[in-house]
């Protein structure tokens, strides 16, 4: 990745982030292989901005989000948060940092403890980080609920008494309870109805401008990401294939995979006949990713070099955009 | 405290399963009755009126015979006192419990040999055993010991099982592997031989016996809790707690264990019936509590040797059947009411 022109204030940076999960097999449960869930991802997120991370299911985007928060052990690379390298830190040192980095989960049915009241759920972060006293905490929880558009009366109720959208609001309230700087949003709207999605997205946008939040927004739906992101990174099989600002992705996608994703966005106009680019085949197993460009097995433009040589993430030629990076031999050899 | 509406639903569902609910009421009444067994089954009087004074010997001090104008210093025989007061007709009276016999007391007759058959006139409602002890008294005190034993055993078993099991499930890895092997070895130790060896050296008391039993009884619960912990641990709310910075102990105690409570509750009734059967069979074999502790196992043993005295066997087998059926019905109803399939919504 080329150095940026001006020294920007990055809140979060990953350098060649790798997360591999061991696979055990055989009689003695020995390590027989690895899942290359994330295999060398470098990202930069500026403070107060949103980076959208898109990709198919199983491409490792959720793993990136969790690895950034050190919920998964890293197999390699670095995570730099607020200028500090947190990749090797012991959990005891990370714990206080968790105040500044939070997460909103995909499934609002799973991510809230069904045995706790909403009040308990929202109070928990305050208890863990020893903020306030019992009475002030209660006041804080009420404010949080109001802030995310929930009635105060929710405090004594249980998560299963609410709808998906309301639960996701509770999940968001929990994430902002500690007034963090970074929130990793792991597909926060993909489990919701379309009508609710925009409400939640707008809530996230409101909170961002109000609290100066930085989002790492993970989604598989480009139209959702478009709405909220400043920059977008497209992931395929554990690697970033294209990184650019939100507009250029739509106007000027370079990578064949990005092009395919964009052509898959439905257009709400039946008279438009789009030339759809349909990808064939499945995502290869991350247990044994293909050599060369990982996309070559499904790429309609693949040629000899793609099968042997792994493309680097390089500045795309011929764009007006400052940092439009693509990892594709086809694009990069046009220079 | 506000109960989780789901919990309320489960309780309602439990109550709607009539068989289990009535069994629960019956068993609760039996346990309550056995807790107040002293007032129901006793050779001490409930109330004695002597002169102008009232005595309550059941829960009071030991009253020597002289207190009531008798000519001995040892404890008053209230049954005789009752007859005597009646004959005297001076306004003194004795109110005896419904069963006026102690579980340890030999009620012997001069012209006959025990066991005596049931007799309402003598107030041996279920007869006596081969040394003249009232069977009903022994059944009730034996029940109290058996249920107390199995509840305490449950506490020990579940305490150990839950702590080791949740640690195994939560920490996984080497810790889990190590304890798995320990358990595999442990469960191959023949429990009965150990009991026989121990009771040939010392006569086990109540607590000793519980400790020995818990020594072998924790394994089942550990396995179960280990499994459910593994399941709960991989759920997202645990990850969410971790992302908030919650410590391991907080996650285990505040999140995982409360979420496994329905499993624990479901297992409890079956563990209780298991405990009752265990103590009874140990007593039957003679490796349990030392005689003359009232015990069902010992009564069963007597029933076996005195087949012709049908009332011994009939009463103890009847009592066991009723208790175990009640506990099993409760267990069934709890399992049904707590069935997670009824409350999980798959979206």
* pLDDT tens digits along B224-250: 999 999 999 989 999 999 999 999 999
Res B347: pLDDT: 40
Query: Residues A257, A299: contact at Cβ < 8 Å?
Result: yes
Which of B126, B128, B121 lies closest to B107, judged by CA?
A: B128
Give the span between the Cα atoms of B47 and B34, in whole angstroms.
Answer: 20
Half-sphere exposure of residue B19: CA atoms within 13 angstroms, side-chain side: 12
Give the span between the Cα atoms of A115 and B306, in whole angstroms.
Answer: 55
Question: Which residue in this structure is represented by tokens 């019956």?
Answer: B26
Q: Residue A28's domain is classified under what CATH number?
A: 3.40.50.300
**Strands of B47-50's sheet, edge to edge?**
B53-55, B47-50, B93-95
The SS3 assignment for A176 reads: helix
Instruction: Give the DSSP H/E element, type plus range, for residue A39.
Output: strand A30-46
Q: Is residue A292 part of a domain?
A: no
Give the span between the Cα atoms of B50 and B54, in whole angstroms.
Answer: 6
Chain A residue with Cα closest to B234:
A110
**Cis status of the peptide bond prior to B292, with omega within 30 of 0:** yes
Q: Is residue A78 part of a domain?
A: yes
Q: What is the pLDDT of residues A223-249, one digit of tens each?
A: 888 888 999 999 998 889 999 888 888
Q: Is the pLDDT of residue B121 over 80?
A: no
Give the span between the Cα atoms of A159 and B4, in whole angstroms.
Answer: 10
Q: What percent of chain B has pLDDT over 70?
A: 97
Q: What is the pLDDT of residues A307-318, one digit of tens each?
A: 888 888 888 777
Contacts of B345 in chain A (CB under 8 A): 109, 160
The reply to whether residue A191 touches residue B258, judged by beta carbons under 8 angstroms, is no
Res B78: pLDDT: 85
Q: Is residue B57 part of a domain?
A: no
Res B276: pLDDT: 92
Res A4: pLDDT: 47
Task: Tell me what the mean pLDDT of segment A132-161 comes to.
Answer: 90
Q: Whole-structure pTM over 0.80, yes or no?
A: yes
Model confidence band, residue A104 (pLDDT cutoffs 50, 70, 90): very high
Instruction: Please identify among residues 123-152 of chain A the ones whose CB lies closer than 8 Å to any CB of chain B.
Output: 124-125, 128-129
Q: What is the pLDDT of residues B66-88, one digit of tens each?
A: 878 778 888 888 888 888 888 88
Mean pLDDT for chain B overall: 86
Res A65: pLDDT: 92
Mean pLDDT for chain A overall: 86
The reply to whether residue A110 touches residue B237, judged by beta carbons under 8 angstroms, is yes
Res A7: pLDDT: 52
Q: Is residue B190 part of a domain?
A: yes
Structure letter (DSSP) for residue A267? -
Give the span between the Cα atoms of A170 and A112, in whole angstroms.
Answer: 8
The reply to whether residue A125 touches residue B245, judged by beta carbons under 8 angstroms, is yes
CA dihedral B190, B195, B197, B203 (to 10 degrees): 180
Q: Is residue B325 part of a domain?
A: yes
Query: Residues A311, A294: contact at Cβ < 8 Å?
Result: no
Which of A94, A105, A115 comes nearest B240 by C-beta? A105
Q: What is the pLDDT of residues A10-63, one digit of tens each?
A: 899 999 999 998 888 777 778 888 888 888 889 889 999 999 999 888 888 899
Q: Which residues pair with A178 in a beta bridge?
A: none
Tokens of B24: 């629960």
Higher pLDDT among residues B143 and A265, named by residue: B143
The reply to whether residue A158 touches residue B4, judged by beta carbons under 8 angstroms, is yes
Phi-psi domain of B304 (left: phi exceeds 0; alpha: psi -120 through 50; beta: other): alpha
Task: Tell me what the mean pLDDT of segment B308-320 comes to.
Answer: 90
Model confidence band, residue B180 (pLDDT cutoffs 50, 70, 90): very high
Contacts of A71 in chain B (CB under 8 A): 239, 242-243
Question: What is the domain count for chain B?
Answer: 1
CB contact B242 to A (< 8 Å): yes
Res B109: pLDDT: 78
Q: Is the pLDDT of residue A169 over 80?
A: yes
Q: Is residue B332 part of a domain?
A: yes
Chain A nearest C-alpha distance from B257 (Å): 10
Res B173: pLDDT: 85
The reply to whether residue B244 touches residue A109, judged by beta carbons under 8 angstroms, is no
In this structure, the number of other CB atoms found within 10 A of the CB of residue A247 comes to 12
- Return the beta strands (E) in chain B as ranges: 47-50, 53-55, 93-95
Q: Is residue B301 part of a domain?
A: yes
Question: What is the domain count for chain A?
Answer: 1
Range of lowest pLDDT (A93-102, B175-184, B187-196): B187-196
Give the span between the Cα atoms of A82 and A182, in whole angstroms.
Answer: 10
Tokens of A221: 């739906």
**Cis status of the peptide bond prior to B115, with omega within 30 of 0:** yes
Task: Tell me what the mean pLDDT of segment A121-143 comes to.
Answer: 91
Res A177: pLDDT: 93
Res B160: pLDDT: 94
- Return the beta strands (E) in A71-141 as ranges: 76-81, 84-85, 101-104
Q: Is the pLDDT of residue B344 over 70?
A: no
Residue ranges making up the domain that contains A28: 10-107+183-194+210-236
Query: Residues A257, A277: contact at Cβ < 8 Å?
Result: no
Which of A98, A113, A115 comes nearest B243 by C-beta? A98
Instruction: Give the DSSP H/E element, type plus range, for residue A125.
Output: helix A118-128
Residue ranges making up the domain that contains B196: 5-36+136-342
Contacts of A143 (CB under 8 A, 6+ apart): none
In this structure, the number of other CB atoms found within 10 A of the CB of residue B295 comes to 28
Q: Is the pLDDT of residue B155 over 90?
A: yes
Higher pLDDT among residues A11 and A274, named by residue: A11
CB contact A156 to B (< 8 Å): yes
In this structure, the number of other CB atoms found within 10 A of the CB of residue B31 comes to 14
Question: Which residue in this structure is represented by tokens 């000519």?
Answer: B71
């Amino acid at each position: 990745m080329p150095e940026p022109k001006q020294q920007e204030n990055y809140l979060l940076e990953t350098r060649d982030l790798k997360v591999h999960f061991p696979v055990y097999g055989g009689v003695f449960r020995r390590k027989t292989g690895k899942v290359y869930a994330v295999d060398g991802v470098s990202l930069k997120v500026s403070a107060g901005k949103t980076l959208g991370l898109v990709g198919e299911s199983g491409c490792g985007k959720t793993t990136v989000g969790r690895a950034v928060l050190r919920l998964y052990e890293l197999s390699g690379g670095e995570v730099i948060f607020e200028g500090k390298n947190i990749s090797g830190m012991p959990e005891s040192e990370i714990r206080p940092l968790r105040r500044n980095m939070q997460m909103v989960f995909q499934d609002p049915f799973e991510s809230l403890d069904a045995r706790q009241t909403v009040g308990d759920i929202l109070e928990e972060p305050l208890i863990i980080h020893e903020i306030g006293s019992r009475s002030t905490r209660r006041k804080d929880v009420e404010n949080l609920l109001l802030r995310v558009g929930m009635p105060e009366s929710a405090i004594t109720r249980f998560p299963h008494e609410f709808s998906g959208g309301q639960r996701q609001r509770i999940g968001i309230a929990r994430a902002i309870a500690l007034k963090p700087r970074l929130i990793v949003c792991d597909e926060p709207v993909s489990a919701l109805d379309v009508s609710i999605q925009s409400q939640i997205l707008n809530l996230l946008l409101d909170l961002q401008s109000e609290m100066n939040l930085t989002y790492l927004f993970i989604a598989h739906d480009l139209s959702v990401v478009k709405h909220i992101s400043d920059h977008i990174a497209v992931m395929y099989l554990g690697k970033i294939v294209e990184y650019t600002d939100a507009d250029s992705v739509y106007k000027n996608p370079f990578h064949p995979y990005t092009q395919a994703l964009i052509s898959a966005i439905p257009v709400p106009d039946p008279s438009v006949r789009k030339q759809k680019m349909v990808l064939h085949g499945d995502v290869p197993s991350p247990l044994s990713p293909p050599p060369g460009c990982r996309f070559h097995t499904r790429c309609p433009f693949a040629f000899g070099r793609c099968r042997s040589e792994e493309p680097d993430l390089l500045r795309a030629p011929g764009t007006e955009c400052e940092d439009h990076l693509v990892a594709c031999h086809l694009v990069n050899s046009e220079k | 405290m506000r109960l989780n509406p789901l919990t309320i639903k489960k309780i309602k569902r439990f109550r709607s399963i009539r068989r289990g609910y009535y069994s629960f009421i019956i068993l609760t009444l039996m346990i309550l009755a056995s807790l107040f067994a002293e007032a129901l089954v006793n050779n001490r009087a409930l109330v004695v009126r002597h002169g102008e004074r009232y005595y309550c010997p059941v829960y009071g001090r030991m009253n020597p015979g002289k207190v009531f104008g008798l000519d001995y210093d040892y404890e008053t025989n209230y049954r005789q006192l009752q007859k005597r007061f009646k004959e005297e007709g001076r306004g003194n009276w004795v109110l005896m419990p419904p069963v006026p016999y102690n579980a340890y007391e030999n009620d012997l007759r001069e012209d006959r040999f025990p066991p005596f058959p049931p007799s309402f006139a003598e107030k041996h409602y279920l007869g006596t055993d081969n040394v003249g002890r009232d069977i009903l008294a022994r059944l009730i005190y034996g029940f109290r010991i058996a249920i107390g034993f199995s509840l305490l055993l449950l506490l020990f078993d579940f305490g150990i099982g839950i702590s080791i099991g949740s640690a195994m499930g939560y920490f996984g890895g080497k810790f889990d592997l190590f304890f798995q092997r320990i358990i595999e070895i442990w469960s191959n130790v023949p429990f009965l031989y150990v009991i026989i060896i121990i009771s040939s050296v010392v006569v086990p008391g109540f607590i000793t016996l519980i400790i020995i039993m818990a020594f072998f009884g924790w394994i089942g619960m550990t396995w179960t809790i280990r499994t459910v912990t593994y399941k709960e641990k991989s759920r997202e709310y645990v990850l969410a707690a971790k992302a908030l910075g919650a410590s391991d102990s907080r996650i285990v105690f505040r999140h995982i264990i409360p979420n496994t409570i329905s499993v624990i509750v479901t297992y409890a009734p079956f563990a209780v019936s298991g405990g009752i059967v265990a103590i009874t069979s140990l007593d039957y074999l003679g490796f349990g509590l030392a005689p003359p502790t009232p015990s069902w196992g010992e009564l069963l043993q007597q029933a076996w040797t005195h087949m012709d005295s049908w009332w011994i066997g009939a009463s103890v087998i009847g009592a066991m059947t009723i208790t175990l059926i009640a506990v099993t019905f409760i267990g069934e109803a709890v399992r049904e009411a707590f069935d997670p399939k009824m409350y999980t919504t798959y979206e």
